[in-house]
Amino acid sequence: MTKPLVALLSGAGISTDSGIPDYRGPNGVWRKDPEAEKLVTYEYYMSDPEIRRRSWQLRRKNRTLLAEPNAAHRAVAELERSGVPVRVITQNVDGLHQLAGLPARKVLELHGSARSFLCTVCHARGPMGDALARVEAGEADPPCLECGGILKSATVFFGERLDPVVLGEAVAITKACQVFIAVGSSLQVQPAAGLAGVAADHGARLVIVNAEPTPYDELADEVIREPIGTALPKLLCKVSAKSDASR
């Protein structure tokens, strides 16, 4: 028998142990400073140079590019190395699944990556560190070096569509998996949140690991409220053992 496919939807909660704050939790970015949402809203960002300047300063100060994978990220990578078919669908933009050792081709970044910048005009891309070095050198709102266009992080802002190819792959994996684990996600942001429902509708075992209740808890086969850093490694050990037994 082939081993069951495990799909894991990860949200901000999986990265809080790495020093990256979540968005909607009790200490979340949006709860602490509702105005911060404007910094990642496409319409505000494109029309207001002051919003862009504040955004660049926030990128310069935040810990995302300095963060290291934690026990939860490492546990996912270890599950994949054990031979279990694993695909990660992440709402995060921190790249920590890949840094933990999960092959990039097995990670679908629904909301893009904070590790790159993107030109909104010619779509040139590059390492975020290069753009931040220009900010450090005194450019408050660095333009594209190729065409002079406005640069932003290669993340999906509010008001932008998800990449339809990435989303399509995520839906296909969700429909095909036998186990679907939603970890550290409030399951409030669509269309990512809806994947939990798609998984349940297609017969996958749905497990939700999150500190607070989600709209999909009633559909879940198991809901875990323990801290993710300890709960997810424990859960994935069980998944691995069951996978070995199914061979």
Output Rg (C-alpha) for the chain, integer angstroms: 19
Rounded Cα distance, 227 and 230, in Å: 6
| C-alpha distance across the termini of the chain, in Å | 5
Q: Are 92 and 70 in contact (CB under 8 A)?
A: no
3-state per-residue secondary structure call for 115-162: EEEEECCCCCEEEHHHHHHHHHCCCCCCECCCCCCEEEEEECCECCCC
DSSP per position, 9-47: EE-GGGGGGGT---SSSTT-HHHH-GGGGGGGBHHHHHH
111 is known as an active-site residue:
yes
Of the residues 73, 97, 111, 123, only one is catalytic, namely 111
For the annotated catalytic residues, the residue numbers are: 111
